[in-house]
Amino acid sequence: MTTKKTSAGRPRKKPAAEAAGSEKTRFLSREVLLDAALALVERDGPDKLTIRALGAELGVDHTAIYRHFRSMDELLLALADRLLGTAVADFEPGPDWRTTLRELSLGIRRAYLTHPRLAVLAASRDTRGAAEFRAVELGLGALKAAGMDDREAARYYLVLTHLMLGTTALEAITVGLDEQTRTEDVAASAREYLAAPPSRYPHLAAAAPYFADAATEDRFELGLDLVLDAVELHASKQPPQE
């Protein structure tokens, strides 16, 4: 049993809760903290993640967390980079630039949607971590393989990233809704579109029956292929690099 000395020099027993807290603190690590933070976000939502809440989740004094992360923001960035790392850590470029960009984008999207509540936070941040650097390196390498120079590769990489992260974040918000709300939203939109008067909205009235089908198609892949088509077209107009 862990003991402390009294002012008279005689040892006294630590309270059980204090001793247990000390033992838990001793075994804290960045990975343990990130696991607990992810569990908290997925259970209670991103707005509930605080240093104090994380300490309570682990049953330790929250100040112990600052030994591993200097701030809540640093922890969030590490959490976001870890999520991205699940998609890029073992990723290998494909046989051509288009396959590489397509599979990289789809893999990142899948990783984010595996944890939609965290994706809402992660998609809007530059993590500046190892996983993000690897994703950027892979993307730029593929764009340069398509025939772009450094400037154009950077521009198109940002366009591709904004498409990927923006649409994924929006989808993550929708996925995070309860099933009844999602179902009601889709049904309400379909009803309102179908009820649009053709005299006032002729194009909407004509296309309304097809919106239900469009909702089940993978719109992300359609948008991704449009961007990749633009990359191919633009690259084909560039003079050969020496």
For residues 97 and 216, membership in a common domain is answered with yes
4: helix, coil or strand? Answer: strand
Assigned domain for 134 exists: yes
Q: Which tokens in the block code for residue 114?
A: 């595996």
Provide the 10 A C-beta neighbour count for residue 191: 10
Q: Which tokens in the block code for residue 240?
A: 């050969």
Please tell me the predicted confidence (pLDDT) of residue 240. 63
How distant, in Å, are the alpha carbons of 37, 69, 78, 117, 212 from that of 25?
16, 14, 20, 27, 53
Residue-by-residue pLDDT tens, the chain, 242 positions:
445 544 455 555 544 444 444 555 557 899 999 999 999 998 988 889 999 999 999 999 999 999 999 999 999 999 999 999 999 989 999 999 999 999 999 999 999 999 988 888 888 889 999 999 999 999 999 999 999 999 999 999 999 999 999 988 888 888 767 777 777 777 777 788 888 999 999 999 999 888 777 766 678 899 999 999 999 998 887 766 55
For residues 105 and 184, membership in a common domain is answered with yes
Give the contacts of 43 (CB within 8 A, at least 6 positions apart): none
Please tell me the predicted confidence (pLDDT) of residue 23. 54
Chain centroid to CA 221: 18
Please tell me the predicted confidence (pLDDT) of residue 22. 53
* Rounded distance between C-alpha atoms, residue 63 and residue 138, angstroms: 38
Q: Which tokens in the block code for residue 141?
A: 């390498």
Whether 111 and 87 have beta carbons less than 8 Å apart is answered as yes
* Rounded distance between C-alpha atoms, residue 70 and residue 74, angstroms: 6
For residues 137 and 207, membership in a common domain is answered with yes
For residues 224 and 113, membership in a common domain is answered with yes
Please tell me the predicted confidence (pLDDT) of residue 107. 95
Assigned domain for 81 exists: no
**Residue 242 belongs to what domain range?**
90-242
For residues 99 and 195, membership in a common domain is answered with yes
Assigned domain for 8 exists: no
Is the torsion defined by CA of 91, 95, 97, 98 positive or negative? Answer: negative
Q: Where are the beta strands (DSSP E) in the chain?
A: 3-5, 11-13
Please tell me the predicted confidence (pLDDT) of residue 16. 42
User: What is the 3-class SS of 169-198, one letter each residue?
Assistant: HHHHHHHCCCHHHHHHHHHHHHHHHHCCCC
Assigned domain for 21 exists: yes
Give the contacts of 95 (CB within 8 A, at least 6 positions apart): none
At CA 31, angle to CA 130 and CA 162, rounded to 5? 40
CATH number at residue 242: 1.10.357.10
Whether 35 and 45 have beta carbons less than 8 Å apart is answered as no
DSSP symbols for 94-122:
-SSHHHHHHHHHHHHHHHHHHSHHHHHHH
Instruction: Report the number of distinct structural domains present in the chain.
Output: 2
Q: Which tokens in the block code for residue 87?
A: 């998609």
Provide the 10 A C-beta neighbour count for residue 20: 14
